[in-house]
Structure 1
Amino acid sequence: MRRYATFVLLGLGVFAVAAGLLLRLYAYPRLAKVPHDIDTLSVARGTGITALVYVPEGDRARPEIREGLTLTSSTKVTGNLRAEEVTKDGDVTVWVEASKVTSDDDGLVVTAGLRSLCLDRHSGEGVTPCENQYYEDVSGQRVVADRGERQQPGLSFKFPFDTQRRDYLWYDGNVKQALDIRYLGEEDVRGLTTYRFVQQIPPTRIDERDVPGALVGEPGVPTVRAELYYEVTRTLFVEPVTGKVIAGGEDVRQELRTEGQGVGQGTVVFDGELTLDDKTVAANVAESEKNVSRLSLITGLPPILWAAGGVLLAVSLLMFFAAGRGRHSRPGPPTKVAAPV
């Protein structure tokens, strides 16, 4: 009976260790992936913003700088299921982002953008080869990259699953680079533990264009060549298990500088902060809590199974060797001693 129990414990121990390995090495990688068929809408709002708008006048639009605006930014992200990079169980997906910032007062469009890229479904980073990568520049022209060129490197939509307390590279669509975004500690967002990341980009030249002289303080000149400078402080609150951005915002400043103008001397064409609204944050929290529960079950069970399996294996081996020692030390039958004659 003891021998039978020994082998039962041994089998259970091996099963527990194997099950833990299976969950960690097979189940977790399959579950910790972003979906191909994403379809989300994020909304950010801001008040008291200075922005350049284009006011319709007949068949033309007149540029005008307005102050004290209330703006709404809408960002729609969808999956391109027809892209050749997309396969059912593949590790690469293709997402398309369409964004627009409008004035709440009159609906005038302040900025709009469209981009597409391939990303790793685990890390969230832009990857190549990719046939479906492009972005629209400030003039609305589509810029398409070669399939082997990583046009939009770094992180763009989310952080990796199992986000670490360290700095990452986050892609900025205005400077067209992936730059450091620093980890600055933990913060509670609606009861959810998040990591706070901040990216600060100093004034950077992003474009050069001809603008009406009146727009930049030279009313007597029909057009003036000006450079557009951009700076931002981007703050993101990230749920670390899923890597999902829960809340955050961008404090942006843009100015047009003519020849000879330095920092702060140009014409401000955007100055203000847009932050994700309550509805968007609440939806992000609800989705993350659901996904965290599933992933935590997968990541939490293996250590328990390994510990239990180790104990069962140790006990079964002790029982096995104890039984062996018992057989070797068992006394034999008594030896008959001849009676004296």
Structure 2
Amino acid sequence: MRRIISFILLGLGVFAVALGLLLRLYAYPQLAKIPLDQESTSVAQGDGITALVVRTVDGAPQPEIRQNLSLTSTTYVTGDLTQPEVETDGNVAVYVEAIKTVDDASGIVVNASVRSLCVDRFTNEAVVPCEGQYTEQEQGKRVTEDRDTIQQPGLSFKFPFGTEQRTYSYYDLSVGKAVDAKFDGEEAVQGLNTYRFVMEVPPTKIGDREVPGSLIGQSDKPSVRAELYYQVKRTVWVEPETGIIVVGQQEGRQELLAPGQSPGEGTTVFDGTLRFNDTTINDNVTKAEDNRSKLSLLTSWPVAMWIGGAALIVLAVILLMTGSQSGGRTGSAPPLRRQPAGAHG
């Protein structure tokens, strides 16, 4: 009976270990992927902002710098299923991101951009080949790249599944390159544990602009070629198991530098902070909690199965060994004692 129980325990232990390996090594990579048909909207808002606003006067654009504005920035991300890189069971997704920032009072668009790229469905990093990748920060001025060259390197949209407490490379559209996203500690957001990452870009030239001289304090000149400088401190709060950005905040500044000016001496055309609004944060917390509970079945359960399976295997081996030892003695005939020849019992 003991041998039967031992083999049952051994079988259960092996099954538990094998199932744990199956869940972790096969099921988890299949589930821990961003969807191909992604569709999400996030909204960031801010008050007391200085920004360059272009209004139309008599059919002509009239730029002016306004202060103490309330702005709303809406980011819409959708999956592009028409691209050749997209396969139903593949590891690459193609996403299109459209951002529009408007002045709440006037409804005037302060800035807008759109971009498309191919990303790894697990790490969320940009990958190639990517046939349709592009960026467009000025209407009608789309910038493309060869399909085998990564145009937008680093992470985009979210962090990897199983985010670690380390520095990542995250793409910044304004400077057109990846910047360091440095781990800055843990923080609870509505009871949800998150990792905080900070990205900082020092004053960096991002382009040249032909602007009215009056806009930058040179009224005697109808037009001036000025340099546009950008700096930002971007902070994101990331749920580590899913990589979802629960909260995003951006403290940014842009200025136009006339010839001979240095960063800090120019005309400020943007200065303010935008942060996810409460609705977006609440939605992200709910999404992160739901996805985390699904993933936990494939991360915590395998560990429990390995531990429990190993314990069952050890117990089965112990029972088999002790049963074999005791079975060697039970029911054996007593040893015969030799008697001298001719002795009578």
TM-score normalised according to structure 1 size = 0.97
Q: Which amino acid aligns with 1:135?
A: T
Within 2, Cα distance between the matches of 1:3 and 1:145?
Answer: 68
> 1:335 Cα deviation (Å)?
4.2
Q: Which amino acid aligns with 1:47?
A: D
1:149 equivalent in structure 2? 149
Q: Which amino acid aligns with 2:70?
A: T
> Residues 103-153 of structure 1, C-alpha deviation per residue, up to 9 Å, x if partnerless?
001100100000000001111111111112100034641111111010001
1:282 equivalent in structure 2? 282
2:174 equivalent in structure 1? 174
SS at match of 2:309: helix
SS at match of 2:320: helix
SS at match of 2:268: strand
Within 1, Cα distance between the matches of 2:190 and 2:327?
Answer: 64
1:340 equivalent in structure 2? 343
> 1:327 Cα deviation (Å)?
3.6
1:164 equivalent in structure 2? 164
Within 2, Cα distance between the matches of 1:220 and 1:335?
Answer: 127
User: Does 1:105 pair with 2:108?
Assistant: no
> 1:297 Cα deviation (Å)?
2.0
Q: Which amino acid aligns with 2:160?
A: P
User: Does 1:221 pair with 2:221?
Assistant: yes
SS at match of 2:6: helix
Within 1, Cα distance between the matches of 2:160 and 2:29?
Answer: 12
1:328 equivalent in structure 2? 328
> Residues 156-190 of structure 1, C-alpha deviation per residue, up to 9 Å, x if partnerless?
10001010011111110000010111111001111
2:206 equivalent in structure 1? 206
Within 1, Cα distance between the matches of 2:327 and 2:74?
Answer: 78
Q: Is the 8 A contact 2:20 2:302 kept in 1?
A: yes
Q: Which runs of 5+ in 1 are unaligned?
A: none
> 1:68 Cα deviation (Å)?
0.7
> 1:334 Cα deviation (Å)?
6.2
Q: Is the 8 A contact 2:256 2:266 kept in 1?
A: yes
User: Does 1:183 pair with 2:183?
Assistant: yes
SS at match of 1:274: strand
Q: Which amino acid aligns with 1:187?
A: E
> Residues 236-263 of structure 1, C-alpha deviation per residue, up to 9 Å, x if partnerless?
0000010000012101100000111012
1:62 equivalent in structure 2? 62
SS at match of 2:302: helix
Identity of aligned residues (%): 51
Within 2, Cα distance between the matches of 1:202 and 1:136?
Answer: 23
The size of the alignment, in residue pairs, is: 341
1:6 equivalent in structure 2? 6
> 1:336 Cα deviation (Å)?
8.4
SS at match of 1:246: strand
> 1:332 Cα deviation (Å)?
2.2
Within 1, Cα distance between the matches of 2:170 and 2:335?
Answer: 84
User: Does 1:51 pair with 2:22?
Assistant: no
Within 1, Cα distance between the matches of 2:343 and 2:257?
Answer: 127
1:24 equivalent in structure 2? 24
User: Does 1:233 pair with 2:233?
Assistant: yes
Within 2, Cα distance between the matches of 1:315 and 1:38?
Answer: 48
Q: Which amino acid aligns with 2:117?
A: L
Within 2, Cα distance between the matches of 1:71 and 1:171?
Answer: 23
> 1:59 Cα deviation (Å)?
2.4
SS at match of 2:12: helix
Q: Which amino acid aligns with 1:332?
A: A
TM-score normalised according to structure 2 size = 0.96
